[in-house]
Structure 1
Amino acid sequence: MKLLVKNNLILFILFGCFVISGGIAISMVSKQSLHLFFNSFVTKNLNGLFVNLTYLGDGIVVLCAVLVFAFINFRLFIVSALSYGLSSGIVQLLKNTLFETAVRPTHFFGALTPPIKLNLVPGIEMHGLNSFPSGHTASAFSIFFTLALLSQNKWVKIILFFVALFVGLSRVYLSQHFFEDIYGGAIIGVFFSVIIFYIFYFAPFSGRFNKLDTSVLKLIFSDKK
């Protein structure tokens, strides 16, 4: 695990900064005030950007990306599939058990006396329940963090981290989640991404997975003799 962290130090520093700063914000600022702060940035000029960003965490989009990985590298396909599948499973378990009564922003602010009207993006279907944790955020971090761990380029790692982060922030921007929801989702996504990646690439027995470094395309077009 030390080698994994060493090879991806910038990535873990960025995520550590997010966890620390996010934790401080959640502990010192009320859920209501924190959401209203983010909601104040909603403008027509940014709506399109965040609507498109949020699709990167959609289950169907992520599944399509995972399937594409099979044509590139089987090991990456398995790692990303496990990371996504496990993080999504935990998210759904938490949503429907411990946090099944957690309401989303529009429901929360609409129930206040007097109700507070949020700046909403036109055309977006709003959800009311199962707020914590954010599934889109967990999905985005499980995939983009895995790709960042795989990359050897520092700047690619940084870009992929911020793509995942902004997918999460898009959920707050669209008032589909509170900040604490994406905070929890990010931690879940990164946790499974790191554990699965370590097992397949850095664990003492990871060498046995080298044979998975092929792809559907290589199998199809290989010269069999």
Structure 2
Amino acid sequence: MEYMLAMLRWIQTMRNPLLDHFFIGVTILGEEYFAIAVICLILWCVNKKAGYRIGFAYISSWILNFSLKEIIHLPRPFELDKRIIPLRPETATGYSFPSGHTQSLTSLVTAVMLALKKKWMYLPGILLIFLIAGSRLYLGVHTLLDVTGGALLGISWIFAANIIFDYAESTGRKAVFLIITVPMLVGMVFILTNEYYKIAGTFTGLMLGYFLDSFYIKYQVQGNIRQRFVNYILGIAVLLLIKTLVKKVLGDSLPADFLRYFLIGTWITVLAPMLFNKMWRKGSKYTQRSEQSGHTKTPPF
């Protein structure tokens, strides 16, 4: 461990304002906002099934991360060595191993690459994984062990999550998702952190939407570029409104965080798809306006 702490002290000597801003920007990609934006884009505007696959794999990876942190209880490097000065320490809550930001972005990137199967994504995706890991080292909030563990766990879990998802889809036994859901809900008794409750709320909303879509909503991505753009902007605007208003009304507490992110997950997977279905069904006033505007090109997704 000492050589890994020495590595962080050495990296600390190379800090400057330009690199500080760069790596702070990179580390933001490992947080919830970027992932939610990507998942919404794919689920609403590209491919619904890929969106659910990515959402399930990504969010369940976070559940695994929080669970392992609570089991391993490894302190942060700046807690072990007071000479290490963390940057943006507000993102370094809880225990250190495995790195949540690294596992998060690694999981997202891997899930997207496997779901969409676009070769051009591979090089940028791998680069992003190295950058997020490097950013956590540069900021002094994780060791090499933490980020390596986070990356390997992220990749490994995405393959495992895809096996679970494929089994549920091919056999119709969607109750298999209870393998993740039940332990996650039990974990809420033991892992009393805001971040865990947010993830649990989002995952519950995602699973609710997945089941309702299978039997009732049956959302399909359709329409031209303009229609998909409208879907995305409207969907994100309402999502931000829910996030802001519920927090203002209920404040900060574990139950409030669970409810707020459950509503966000429900909006993403239930209410927004129902709204988009209604907006763009054949003969609706929105469809007629779109056809009259002449924007009929369909995106090459």
Assess same fold via TM > 0.5.
Answer: yes
Asked if structure 2 preserves the Cα contact closer than 8 Å seen for 1:137 and 1:168, the reply is yes
Asked if structure 1 preserves the Cα contact closer than 8 Å seen for 2:27 and 2:132, the reply is yes
TM-score (norm 1): 0.68
Shift of 1:80: 1.3
Quick one: distance in 1 between partners of 2:126 and 2:219? 24
Quick one: distance in 2 between partners of 1:85 and 1:74? 16
Shift of 1:133: 0.7
Shift of 1:126: 6.9
Report the equivalent of 1:183: 148
1:106 pairs, out of 73, 78, 81, with 78
Quick one: distance in 1 between partners of 2:43 and 2:169? 24
Where do 4+ consecutive residues of structure 1 move more than 6 Å? Answer: 201-204
Q: How does 1:163-178 map to 2 (within 5 A)?
A: 163-178=128-143
AA aligned to 1:71 is: W
1:46 pairs, out of 15, 19, 22, with 19
Q: How does 1:131-146 map to 2 (within 5 A)?
A: 131-146=96-111
Aligned pair in 2 of structure 1 residues 222, 95: CA closer, same or farther (>3 Å)? Answer: same
CA-to-aligned-CA distance 1:154-201 (integer Å, 9 cap, x gap): 342110121122112211111111111111111121112223345657
CA RMSD of aligned residues (A): 3.4
Aligned pair in 2 of structure 1 residues 153, 104: CA closer, same or farther (>3 Å)? Answer: same
Asked if structure 1 preserves the Cα contact closer than 8 Å seen for 2:106 and 2:154, the reply is yes
% same residue: 21
Aligned pair in 2 of structure 1 residues 187, 222: CA closer, same or farther (>3 Å)? Answer: farther
The 3-state SS of whatever aligns with 1:30 is: helix
Report the equivalent of 2:50: 76
The 3-state SS of whatever aligns with 2:140 is: coil
CA-to-aligned-CA distance 1:89-141 (integer Å, 9 cap, x gap): 111111112x22x111211111xxxxxx33554x6537475011111111101
Quick one: distance in 2 between partners of 1:66 and 1:186? 20
Asked if structure 2 preserves the Cα contact closer than 8 Å seen for 1:57 and 1:136, the reply is yes
Check if 1:214 corresponds to 2:188: no
The 3-state SS of whatever aligns with 1:205 is: helix
Report the equivalent of 2:159: 194
Quick one: distance in 1 between partners of 2:48 and 2:91? 37
AA aligned to 1:195 is: A
Check if 1:92 corresponds to 2:66: yes
Q: Give the stretch that moved more between structures: 214-223 or 182-191.
A: 214-223
In the alignment of these two chains, the number of paired residues is 188
Quick one: distance in 1 between partners of 2:155 and 2:114? 11
Bigger relative contact order, structure 1 or 2, given CA contacts below 8 A and separation 6+?
1
The 3-state SS of whatever aligns with 1:176 is: coil
Aligned pair in 2 of structure 1 residues 126, 152: CA closer, same or farther (>3 Å)? Answer: closer
Aligned pair in 2 of structure 1 residues 192, 32: CA closer, same or farther (>3 Å)? Answer: same
Shift of 1:65: 2.8
Quick one: distance in 2 between partners of 1:134 and 1:149? 22
Aligned pair in 2 of structure 1 residues 195, 213: CA closer, same or farther (>3 Å)? Answer: farther
Shift of 1:31: 2.1
TM-score (norm 2): 0.53
Quick one: distance in 2 between partners of 1:205 and 1:179? 39
Report the equivalent of 2:282: 223
Q: How does 1:3-82 map to 2 (within 5 A)?
A: 30-72=3-45, 73-82=47-56
AA aligned to 2:49 is: R
